[in-house]
Amino acid sequence: MLGRIVLIVLAALVGCILVLVVVLLAVSPGKPKPAAAGGISEKIRVDINGVPQGMFIRSRDPANPVLLFLHGGPGMPTYFLNRKYPTGLEEQFTVCWWEQRGAGLSYHPDIPAESMTLEQLIADTIAVTNYLRSRFGKDKIYLLGHSWGSYLGIQVAARAPELYHAYVGMAQMAHQIRSENTAYAYMLQEYRKRGDKGMVRKMEKTPITMTGPLPMAYMKLRDPLMHGLGVGTTHDMKSVIAGIFFPVMGFPEYSFREKLNIWRGKAFSRSRLWDPMLTTELAVVVPELKLPVYFCHGVYDYTITYNETKEYFKKLRAPRKGFYTFEQSAHSPAYEEPQRMLRILREDVLAGANRLADAGD
């Protein structure tokens, strides 16, 4: 009798898995959203330094200025967030949502692990920039880096300022190990205030230091800790399962295989790129930029802490600077407060001004 019950349960589980696979295949056509009349909506792969790399290109008008968006992670594209949190960037720009070497559309198991370096990704970013310049007939484009993409982007801007009109850092990284320690202290205090003894115990078992790397046990807690307090990806996102995993798996512009590659690429990229990033102090590596620079940061952001970024901004030398505080945002101002972001891009970044900035020179 027990054996029969086990067989029934197993059959039910297999049936549920098959139904889930069928549903995921049905919602995974892998085709880009149609463009408005006269616009562009493409999902393409381009050979970048010998590796096919994927990108979405969207624009209401192909004559618009070109913006290259560098996603975070490392290895975690965020184009899928546009479904719930539309940025509207394609109204003002021809936007390239490039998925970096080893990530998402650009993941492949044959990519050599030794090629996953900062220097290679800088070279890839410059190659993608030159592809966009050539294709759209632009002498220069705009560069926006988000989170890990800001770590990469600001170093690209320092290396090749002649290719860009301006650099925009959204949740701009500064010295991540210091940011992690600040966030840890803040979250421990907040969970103590809430009386969440279970979470406090877990945190106290996994202390972090300024030396790095971060303990693996803490890394497993990190996303739930941040999202539980509304200081992670967005201020209203309380769970990475509900806010990231399910939206990726339900995103129709990825095929089923591409959805799986999001997670493969994230693990692959992070294993090679996270630790070197963690201990880099960007104020030392990039003390100056030779082009206008704009930082956009949410006050609720503890993935990359607001104060650490603002201190870097004060030290950074550039011909034009602007720092913008987003009062309703955590880690993703363009998704959380899109109208404010678009106004800053339109009235300051495109105009080469900083009239809307909290601080600048």
CB 108 within 8 A of CB 47: no
Q: Which of 301, 329, 332, 348 is catalytic?
A: 301
CB 300 within 8 A of CB 330: yes
Residue type at 132 in one-letter notation: L
Listed in sequence order, the residues at least 6 apart from 159 whose beta carbon sits closer than 8 Å to its beta carbon are 122, 126
* 115 catalytically annotated: no
* 146 catalytically annotated: no
* 147 catalytically annotated: yes
160: closest CA among 137, 190, 126? 126
- CB burial of residue 109 (10 Å; 0-12, 13-18, 19+): exposed
Listed in sequence order, the residues at least 6 apart from 61 whose beta carbon sits closer than 8 Å to its beta carbon are 38, 39, 94
CB 354 within 8 A of CB 320: yes
List C-alpha distances in Å: 270 to 73, 177, 185, 209, 234. 7, 15, 24, 20, 21
Q: Which of 147, 150, 179, 329 is catalytic?
A: 147
Residue 198: alpha-carbon gap to chain centroid: 30
CB 146 within 8 A of CB 72: yes
CB 217 within 8 A of CB 206: yes
Residues acting as catalytic residues = 147, 301, 331
